[in-house]
Amino acid sequence: MVIRRGGSLEGGIASSEITPKDAFLNRRSFIYGAAALGTGAVLLDQVPGLFHPKAVHADQKLETVPSKYTVPDVQTPFSKATTYNNFYEFGTDKSDPARNAHTLHTRPWTVQVAGLVKKPQTIDVDTMMKYRPLESRVYRHRCVEAWSMVIPWDGYSLSEFIGWAQPLPSAKYVQFISDDKSSDMPDKPSALDWPYSEGLRMDEAMNPLCLLAFGCYGEVLPNQNGAPVRVVSPWKYGFKNGKSIVKIVFTDKQPKTSWNESAPDEYGFYSNVNPSVDHPRWSQAHERRIDSSAFPKTIPTLPFNGYADQVAGMYSGMDLKKNY
């Protein structure tokens, strides 16, 4: 079996640093986690639906192969990675997605492939999942709101799927459109013009670091983390990573993207992690790393989220303050 990789990151994570699955079920662990995230110590029975089985944990193991894509950072516990999320279709507070995402029905699920491709078609997500062996990759994940996590994602390079889709030479960008069905997301806030849309330049999408993810922590994606399929581009701010994707469009023009359309002075199309370019309302020079500690530590933000060796060449000659 051959797995194509364009590079690797040095280092690894010791098994002793991985939070056991049953740890996230511990009440005390959750209470400490809530305090660490600044939400206060709350009891589970005060948050109805927070641990709804369909919302937090689908309990389906994934078969994965080892990957050279990893980082030496300590992983964020599953309990925090699945209860502190941005997924505006389910609410604007960090705890809303875990509370509300049980309404998302992830089977049956199909993804439409459209635009400048040799053969536009629709594919079942389970067929997508089986197209290539799933790698377990540990990535840093940086939110534009200046907090970060380290998450083990399960998937394969988006470039593998793009190769299957056979885009035409004229395709220069890839757009990802998320689910917005009222039956799945009945209480979408009016913050954005739905459906949620994101996009990448073709060379970005083809970079081997860019992941098409179907799981995390060795199990299928929890609903609030973007089930059943999402994109992870670890050198970009988190909002660039489309969740619950239902359509992939290849285009010759830069696609409209939700946050860039909503607030272009705050959210650029590229949105590469850049500590020297502040958000209009806060600094990007540092971040709060969400880990197993009681209080998140503040650490310096790295250019391209620490992936400069793998991705900086794609932006050679570009003004990264203008093209933020």
**8 falls within a domain:** no
Q: How many domains does the chain have?
A: 1
Write down the pLDDT at residue 6.
Answer: 37
**323 falls within a domain:** no
* Residues 227 and 244: beta-carbon distance below 8 Å: yes
**5 falls within a domain:** no
Write down the pLDDT at residue 121.
Answer: 97
**265 falls within a domain:** yes
State the residue range of the domain holding 109.
25-315
Write down the pLDDT at residue 13.
Answer: 38
CATH number at residue 250: 3.90.420.10
Write down the pLDDT at residue 301.
Answer: 98
Q: Quick one: tokens of 54?
A: 């369909």
Write down the pLDDT at residue 60.
Answer: 83
**Number of residues that this document lists for the chain:** 324
**321 falls within a domain:** no
Beta strands in the chain (DSSP E): 64-66, 110-115, 121-124, 134-142, 147-157, 173-178, 197-201, 211-216, 219-220, 230-232, 245-251, 286-289, 297-300
Residue matched to tokens 């500690």:
293
**202 falls within a domain:** yes
| pLDDT digits (tens), the chain, 324 positions | 333 333 332 334 343 344 444 343 333 333 334 433 443 333 323 333 333 334 444 568 999 999 999 999 999 999 999 999 999 999 999 999 999 999 999 999 999 999 999 999 999 999 999 999 999 999 999 999 999 999 999 999 999 999 999 999 999 999 999 999 999 999 999 989 999 999 999 999 999 999 999 999 999 999 999 999 999 999 999 999 999 999 999 999 999 999 999 999 999 999 999 999 999 999 999 999 999 998 999 999 999 999 999 999 999 999 999 999
Beta bridge partners of 219: 61, 216
Report d(CA 112, CA 306) in Å as an integer.
33
- The pTM for the full model equals 0.83
CB-based contacts of 31, cutoff 8 Å, min separation 6: 41, 42, 43
Write down the pLDDT at residue 216.
Answer: 98
